Amino acid sequence: MILDEHREHRDCPNLRLVLTTVVQSATPRRLGSYLRSELGISRRGLRLLKDCGGLAVNGAAAVPVGTYVEDGDAISLSLPSEASPGVNPESFPVALIYEDEHLLVLDKPAGMVTHPVKSHQSGTLANGVAGYLADKGICCASHPVNRLDKDTSGLVVFAKNPLAHDQVAAQIVAGAFQRTYLALVVGVVAADAGCIDWPIGEKPAKGAERYIDWADGKPAVTKWELVRAYPGSGAGDGADAGQPGHSLLKVRPETGRTHQIRVHLAAAGFPIVGDALYGGEGGSEEGEPPLIARQALHAAQICFTKPFSAEKLYLESPLPEDFAAALRHCEGAADTAGAAGTSDAADTGTASAAQPSKAPKAPKAPKAPKAPKAPKAPDA
Domain coordinates of the chain in residue numbers? 7-80, 84-174, 176-366
Q: Out of 4-18, 79-93, 131-145, 222-236, pick the least confident.
A: 4-18
- Distance, in Å, from the CA atom of 58 to the CA atom of 22, rounded to the nearest integer, reads 10
Q: pLDDT at position 361, please?
A: 43
Q: Name the pTM for this structure.
A: 0.82
Percent of the chain with pLDDT over 70: 80
- The 10s digit of each residue's pLDDT in 21-74 is 999 999 999 999 999 999 999 999 999 999 999 999 999 999 999 999 999 999
Q: Out of 7-21, 248-262, 275-289, pick the least confident.
A: 7-21
Q: pLDDT at position 344, please?
A: 47
User: What separation in angstroms does the CA of 322 have from each of 13, 82, 305, 326, 366?
Assistant: 48, 38, 31, 6, 33
Q: pLDDT at position 372, please?
A: 43
- Mean pLDDT across the chain, nearest whole number? 85
Q: pLDDT at position 184, please?
A: 98
Strand ranges in the chain using DSSP code E only, listed in sequence order = 7-8, 15-22, 29-30, 55-57, 68-69, 74-80, 96-99, 103-108, 143-144, 153-159, 178-186, 193-197, 200-202, 210-212, 221-230, 246-253, 297-305, 312-316
- Distance, in Å, from the CA atom of 255 to the CA atom of 264, rounded to the nearest integer, reads 12
DSSP string for residues in 318-371: PPPHHHHHHHHHHHHHHHHHHHHHHHHHHHHTS---SS-SSPPPPP-PPPPPPP
* Predicted confidence (pLDDT) at residue 376 exceeds the cutoff of 60: no
Q: pLDDT at position 40, please?
A: 92
User: What separation in angstroms does the CA of 177 have from each of 313, 328, 334?
Assistant: 10, 31, 35
Q: pLDDT at position 166, please?
A: 95
Contact present, 272 and 288 (Cβ < 8 Å): no
Q: pLDDT at position 233, please?
A: 55
* Predicted confidence (pLDDT) at residue 207 exceeds the cutoff of 90: no
Q: What CATH architecture does domain 84-174 belong to? A: 2-Layer Sandwich (3.30)
* Predicted confidence (pLDDT) at residue 238 exceeds the cutoff of 90: no
* Predicted confidence (pLDDT) at residue 236 exceeds the cutoff of 90: no
148 pLDDT tier (thresholds 50, 70, 90):
very high
> Which whole number is the average pLDDT over 186-214?
93
Q: pLDDT at position 282, please?
A: 66
- The 10s digit of each residue's pLDDT in 321-360 is 999 999 999 998 777 666 555 444 444 343 333 333 333 3
Helix (H, G, I), strand (E, B) or coil at 274: coil
Contact present, 187 and 224 (Cβ < 8 Å): no
Q: pLDDT at position 34, please?
A: 97
Contact present, 143 and 164 (Cβ < 8 Å): no
Contact present, 354 and 335 (Cβ < 8 Å): no
Q: pLDDT at position 287, please?
A: 59
Query: Which residues make Cβ contacts (< 8 Å) with residue 21, sequence separation at least 6?
Result: 1, 2, 3, 38, 39, 74, 75, 77, 308
Percent of the chain with pLDDT over 90: 71
> Which whole number is the average pLDDT over 286-308?
92
> Residue 263, Cβ neighbours under 10 Å: how many?
28
Q: pLDDT at position 45, please?
A: 95
Contact present, 264 and 222 (Cβ < 8 Å): yes
Which among 73, 107, 149, 166 is annotated as catalytic?
149
> Which whole number is the average pLDDT over 198-207?
89
What top-level class would CATH report for the domain 7-80? alpha beta
Q: Which of 82-86, 168-172, 282-286 has the highest mean pLDDT?
A: 168-172
Helix (H, G, I), strand (E, B) or coil at 80: strand
> Does this chain's domain 7-80 share its CATH topology with 84-174?
no
289 pLDDT tier (thresholds 50, 70, 90):
confident
What is the phi-psi region of residue 86: left when phi exceeds 0, alpha when psi lies from -120 to 50, beta otherwise? left
Q: Is residue 149 annotated as a catalytic residue, yes or no?
A: yes
What top-level class would CATH report for the domain 176-366? alpha beta
Bridge partners of 230, per DSSP, are 246
242 pLDDT tier (thresholds 50, 70, 90):
low
* Predicted confidence (pLDDT) at residue 280 exceeds the cutoff of 90: no
DSSP string for residues in 85-119: TT---------EEEE-SSEEEEEEPTT--SS-BTT
